Structure 1
Amino acid sequence: MKLKVLFVFISFLSLACITSCKGSGPDEGKKDDTPTDSVSEYGATVTLAEPFATKSVSVRPKVVGWPAEKTPIAPAGYRVVKFAGELKSPRWVYVAANGDVFVAESEANRISLFRDTNGDGIADTKSSFLEGLNRPFGMLLLGAYFYVANTDGLLRYPYKSGDTKLSTKGQKILSLPAGGYNNHWTRNILASQDSSSIYVTVGSGSNVGENGMEQERRRANILVVNPEGSNERVFAAGLRNPVGLAWEPSTGKLWTAVNERDELGDQLVPDYITSVQENGFYGWPYAYWGKNADPRMKGKREDLVAESIIPDFAVGAHTASLGLAFSKSNRFQAGAYVGQHGSWNRSQLVGYKVLFVPFENGNPIGEHKDFLTGFVGDGTDAAVYGRPVGIAFAKQGYMLVADDAGNTVWAVVAK
């Protein structure tokens, strides 16, 4: 009897091994049956979920504002103070060489100027620098001009260092396609390192090209123009909603933060930060994270799918990663700081923080870390106090974080 039981047991193990090992060799056509709990959404290498592995859901945050005496939470060794409050949708921050801090209050259609005269992280003066704009976002000082990117175009104004208000009428030097899907109205700008050109981000007008690609002309791109607005060309394409732009300090490479597509499930598609290759194609709308074809665009532009570049570092699906800044002082660890505005197309809130990605020799290394948190309330009702977006470093060395939902710009100061 014992021998018979042993034989049956061995036979069962053999059958189990055959079943589990079947098809374990290379098979490009095999469906990836990786369970959801082994999916990874962060890092230079990711394990992607299957499309539609979970239902596409909408969980919108309920912005309740910041309770008195409450602030975001920074790591040990830092304190958080209110640089400026009672603003109207402060979305982006730009720091001039003289230390002036410009804040785009996008819903108010204005740019405000702040000065911190004693370096404590709290603005001492505020000026209404420029009004009557159209959803302003990116800002830039280049030569004798102040540039601002409205949702429908790039404008420039005569400027001299120290100006607290611009009264001269600006010149629209470049028209841009306006509007867009789910807040893809932002237009960011950055000067080339030799000041000979300006990079301009334009997000897609749709989630995944559902309105027809003829509606996406000049969109989902990083454009580049001369300082006069002429000689426009596409620098990089297939970037669904590129927002943050920054120069990596050790290599001088251009990096961007990209808000990826919706409605493929909780864990697809990861937002990312990446170095930007000139003439590179990053997949949208035909593919994601390299050559993974979007099933909603099946069979379309397979030539572009084959060209799609794998981004450098994934920062989580639906995190709405928009802000991007690199540390340039020893007060903050070297690497990229990413402003995550937070999810709506996921069963549980994700993002709503500033994420840190360490760098070495110009490349991401090691594990990402939460840097600035506390934007989400303690309950289960999707309540949030604020939503971080733009990040910049003040001349005095502290970090500035624009919180458009909390109507505040926060300063993170090293102790």
Structure 2
Amino acid sequence: MKTWTKLILLLVGFTGLVLSCSDDDNFWDAMIPETDKDPTTTQINGYVFKPALVPATDENVQQLKVPAGFKVNKFADNLGKPRMMTVSSNGNVYFTDREAGVVMLLQDTNSDGVAENKQAVANIKQVHGLAIRGTQMYLVAVRELYRADINANGTLGSPELLMDDLPDGGQHPNRTIAFGPDDKLYITVGSTCNSCPEPNKENATILQANPDGSGRKIFAKGLRNTIGFGWHPQTGVLWGMDHGIDWLGDNDQKEEVNQIKQGADYGWPYIYGEGKYNPGDRPEGDTTYQQYLQKTTLPTLTYQAHAAPLGMVFYTATKFPAEYQNDAFVAMRGSWNRSSPVGYSVVRLHFENGEPVRFDDFLTGFLVNSNKAHFARPVGVAVHSDGSLLVSDDTNGVIYRVNYQP
């Protein structure tokens, strides 16, 4: 009888240990060995849930939620699949449609908040990111970088090829580009896979080059897929939003806000989040997880896993209330790899003393029918010359305009 009592007490004690440690990352990390001498085992619940697509009707648009004093309208629709955007100083709006391989120009000629003119200004296979430098437009596809003159009427001259040997796209072909305060060109290059060692060292990086395409080098690495990035207007520090690894469960891997530093390694695919070990990939050679963790730069802030951050832009115009100055807007495209959807929104990333401190919802309501359907997946964000915020959706072919009208 005493033996059975001891066994029951031991069983209860072990169960209590498991329950008390089920949320303790250190406990579960101990189940992942540092070398190949011991087996790795873990169990993860994976989900696929893709909300149905419904039209962007006037009724749906009218129920979108923004902070008090803000209004939302369609800046343009029937656009195909608009992705990334940029706006010239005179209000010309350019966007890419990667699937169609086209760059489009939109013009609001009467300043009523709706584009009247639409025309194609370039045809480049799989074009995605774009940036304006002076009187020239830079455009990037999967492996190619181009430069074109901007004509007085907003059209583009013939694109000049500057690079044709960027890494293959694989799972993440969505290159984005921007010029930094140093007048260097920065190019994001995502990973070819969800989680794997990359044979090409330029994958899962941000590259830096001169405006003519020369001098290309890896600026930072270990970034699975950083699409949205930019420099804080006051500090000049580079910040980026990185996509987390899929198939680690509903709440892992969280999306990361990283301060992008030259020469830094952000851990992918071995280290993720707040220093967690990825059980699917072990560092190569004799390097242990712990050693790799020591050289990994961890995120400054995180966001709900699988929300899928895409475009990011700092707000420096004067139309919005003063407290929005120097904060960032991020398009959260929305999840597919969790049991209930998250994202499908635009969020405001607050900065205090040059540091990101929290996220707030800014534009929500694209999920409808009790979260079983959606009518937009935000992709690009851009600040118009009139101070409004533009948001692109490549599912229903709409660019939305958010304006402050107290």
The answer, yes or no, to whether TM exceeds 0.5 is yes
How far is 1:142 from its partner? 2.0
Which residue of 132, 137, 142 maps to 1:141?
Answer: 132
Q: What is the CA-CA distance between 1:54 and the residue it aligns to?
A: 4.8
SS in 2 for 1:166: coil
Q: Contact 1:392 / 1:399 at 8 angstroms: preserved in 2?
A: yes
| Distance (Å, rounded) in 2 between the aligned partners of 1:74 and 1:265 | 30
Aligned match for 1:58, one of 48, 66, 90: 48
TM-score, length-normalised on structure 2? 0.84
Local SS of the residue matching 1:70: helix
Taking a change above 3 Å as real, the CA distance of residues 118 and 232 of structure 1, as seen in their structure-2 partners, is same
Instruction: Report the counterpart of residue 37 of structure 2 in structure 1.
Output: none
Q: Deviation per CA, 1:248-277: give whole Å up to 9, x if none.
A: 112111111111110111100001222211
For the Cα contact (< 8 Å) 2:150–2:157, is it kept in 1?
no
Matching residue's letter, 1:187: R
Paired letter, 1:56: G
Q: CA RMSD in A?
A: 2.5
- Asked if the contact 2:84–2:96 (Cα under 8 Å) also holds between the matched residues in 1, the reply is yes
For residue 351 of structure 1, the aligned residue among 343, 354, 357 is 343
Q: State the match for 1:126 in structure 2.
A: 118
Q: 1:383 to 1:157 in 2, by over 3 A?
A: same
CA distance in 1: counterparts of 2:42 and 2:69, whole angstroms:
42
In 1, distance between residues paired with 2:176 and 2:355? 23
Contact 2:267 2:297 in 1 (8 A): yes
Percent of aligned pairs with the same amino acid: 33
Which residue type is aligned with residue 328 of structure 1? T
Partner of 2:223: helix, strand, or coil?
Answer: coil
SS at 2:280 equivalent: helix
Secondary structure at 1:130 match in 2: strand
Deviations 1:40-63 (A, max 9, x none): xxxxxxxxxxx9675011112322
Displacement after TM superposition at 1:298 (Å) = 3.2
Structure 2 counterpart of 1:219: 203
Partner of 1:185: 173
Distance of 2:110 and 2:383 partners within structure 1: 16
Alignment of 1:321 with 2:301, yes or no, is no
SS of the residue corresponding to residue 30 of structure 1 reads: helix
- Output the CA distance in 2 between the equivalents of 1:32 and 1:304: 14
Partner of 2:143: 152
Residue in structure 2 matched with residue 311 of structure 1 by the alignment: 299
- Inter-partner Cα distance in structure 2 for 1:256 and 1:85: 29
2:156 aligned to which of 163, 166, 181: 166
Structure 2 stretches of 5 or more lacking a match?
A: 1-8, 31-40
Alpha-carbon distance in structure 1 between the residues aligned to 2:164 and 2:207: 11
Give the superposition deviation at 1:327. Answer: 1.6
* 1:69-108 aligned within 5 A: 69-71=59-61, 72-108=64-100
Measured after TM superposition, the shift of residue 341 of structure 1 is 0.4
What is aligned with 1:289? 273
Is this contact kept in 2: 1:236–1:277, CA < 8 A? yes
How far apart in 2 are the matches of 1:352 and 1:307? Answer: 34
| Pairing partner for 1:114 from 101, 106, 114 | 106
Letter paired with 2:193: S
1:304 partner SS: helix
Alpha-carbon separation, structure 2, partners of 1:143 and 1:237:
29
Distance 2:49 2:141 in 1: 29
Paired residues of 1:94 and 1:392 also in contact (CA < 8 A)? yes
Query: Does 2:211 match 1:198?
Result: no
Per-residue displacement from partner, 1:356-382 (whole Å, max 9, x unpaired)?
1211221123x42111011112245x3
Structure 2 Cα separation of the partners of residues 235 and 276 of structure 1: 9
Distance 2:65 2:352 in 1: 26
Q: Structure 1 residue 89: deviation in Å?
A: 0.8
Matched, 1:361 2:353: yes
> Helix, strand or coil: the match of 2:297?
coil
Residue identity in the other structure for 1:329: A
Shift of 1:409: 0.5
User: Shift of residue 247 of structure 1?
Assistant: 1.5
Q: Given the alignment, which residue of 363, 373, 379 partners 1:383?
A: 373
Mapped partners of 1:28, 1:275: distance in 2 = 24
Distance 2:26 2:106 in 1: 57
Amino acid at match of 1:198: L
Displacement of 1:242 in angstroms is 0.6
Q: Structure 1 length as normaliser, TM-score?
A: 0.82
2:235–2:354 contact (8 Å) kept in structure 1 = yes
Partners of 2:82 and 2:96 within 8 A in 1: yes
**Matched residue, 2:389:** 399
Give 3-state SS (helix, strand or coil) of 2:111's partner: coil
Deviations 1:84-140 (A, max 9, x none): 100111011101222211111222111111122343321132221112x12111111
d(CA) in 2 for partners of 1:171, 1:297: 37
Question: Which residue of structure 1 lines up, in the alignment, with residue 232 of structure 2?
Answer: 248
Please, which of 207, 211, 219 is the counterpart of residue 235 of structure 1?
A: 219
Tell me the equivalent position of 1:42.
none
Distance in 1 (CA, whole Å) between partners of 2:155 and 2:283 is 53
Q: Is the 8 A contact 2:191 2:198 kept in 1?
A: no
Counting matched residue pairs gives 369
Q: What CA distance in whole angstroms lies between the structure 1 residues aligned with 2:221 and 2:274?
A: 13
Q: 1:175 to 1:97 in 2, by over 3 A?
A: farther
Contact in 2 for aligned 1:173/1:228 (Cα 8 Å): no
Partner of 1:340: 332
